[in-house]
Amino acid sequence: MFNLSISSMGVYRDPEKHRQTIHCPWLNLSLSGLVYARTRHPDGTIMSRYGEGEAYMRFGLPGMTTDFEYSEKRENWVVMFDALPLRYAKLRSGLEIRDDKNWVPISASRIIPPELTPPLRADVRRLQECFRNPVPENRLRSKLIIAGFIEFLMGESRGALRETPAGELKRLIDDDLDFKHSISEICARCDYSEDHLRVLFKEEFKMSPGEYGREKRMAKVMEYISGTRMSLKEIAAATGFEHPSHLSMAFKNTFGSTPSEAVRKYRYRGAGR
């Protein structure tokens, strides 16, 4: 999990009209009372714009500027970080957060639907309690809550990914549920050469299309092993392997053990068909 350190947090409730430059990484949950809010990239281009009555979540980075106005109904939570592995995205608008060795794209901001306002309010209040009581278990809870906020923003970015050539290729790989097609066959359905798509995919998702397809395939194999009573021959057929020996070889290369060993170790006795 990514490392983070919260320096301060709180909720603003007073009416205010203001413009400011952001000096540290922060997370803003604007839940009520907004009149307007605009955030600009350091070069002055608009990154997000929200209007009266809208609720939104937004990450900010040093150099961004924001101007806003709130009414007396304001509920505006701000979490400031000493450390957060966040940076401006290189390939498109938005941000990237570091997870292990990879930089993962997220949206800088997203509108909060009305039905999600109560649970997000509860989450940020829990985060405040954890911040006020910084015992080790609460530090872990803080990371998990922030991770939930990041996942919310990733939900917005995933739709945008399908608009890119690499995102289209990823979607087509995801749609090949029975793993019947090679990466070359899937690339042929896109409007770019296979070599070019590999480069774009690697830039965007930090792994090759082949690596992504293999990881999905092995995850499905493990799902069948642990959660069903299917034989290895049936699993091989369901995941696009011509012969169980091919499955065994790929499985051992990925997990370091044979499928038979995994069945003995992970298969639940009450697993269904």
Indicate whether this model's pTM tops 0.85: no
119 CB neighbour count, 10 Å cutoff: 11
Query: Domain end: 130, 161, 192, which one?
Result: 161
Dihedrals phi, psi of 167, to nearest 5 degrees: -65, -35
State the first-to-last Cα distance of the chain, in angstroms, to the nearest integer.
34
Residues 157 and 239 in one domain: no
What is the 8-class DSSP label of residue 88?
A: E
Rounded Cα distance between 7 and 21, Å, is: 18
Residues 180 and 134 in one domain: no
Q: Is residue 232 a part of any domain in this protein?
A: yes
Residues 244 and 150 in one domain: no
pLDDT of residue 21: 92
Residues 90 and 125 in one domain: yes
Residues 128 and 172 in one domain: no
pLDDT at position 178 over 60 = yes
Nearest to 87 by CA among 101, 108, 66, 67: 108
Residues 30 and 106 in one domain: yes
Residues 104 and 194 in one domain: no
Residues 188 and 173 in one domain: yes
Q: What is the CATH number of the domain that holds 129?
A: 2.60.120
Q: Is residue 219 a part of any domain in this protein?
A: yes
pLDDT of residue 77: 95
Taking the C-alpha atoms of 121, 123, 124 and 126 in order, what is their torsion angle to the nearest 10 degrees?
A: 120
Q: Is residue 94 a part of any domain in this protein?
A: yes
Q: Is residue 273 a part of any domain in this protein?
A: no
pLDDT of residue 268: 67
Task: Report helix, strand or coil for 60.
Answer: strand
Residues 153 and 182 in one domain: no
Length of the chain: 273
Residue 187 lies in domain: 165-266
pLDDT of residue 73: 95
Give the pLDDT confidence of 54-84 residue by residue, as tens digits: 999 999 999 999 999 999 999 999 999 988 8
Residues 124 and 188 in one domain: no
Sign of the four-CA dihedral 126, 127, 132, 135 = positive
Provide the number of structural domains found in the chain: 2
* Average pLDDT score over residue span 136-158: 84
Q: What is the CATH number of the domain that holds 173?
A: 1.10.10.60
Residues 125 and 174 in one domain: no
Residue 75, phi-psi category: left (phi > 0), alpha (psi -120 to 50), beta (remainder): beta
Query: Domain end: 111, 146, 161, which one?
Result: 161
Query: Domain end: 131, 161, 191, which one?
Result: 161
Residues 107 and 142 in one domain: yes
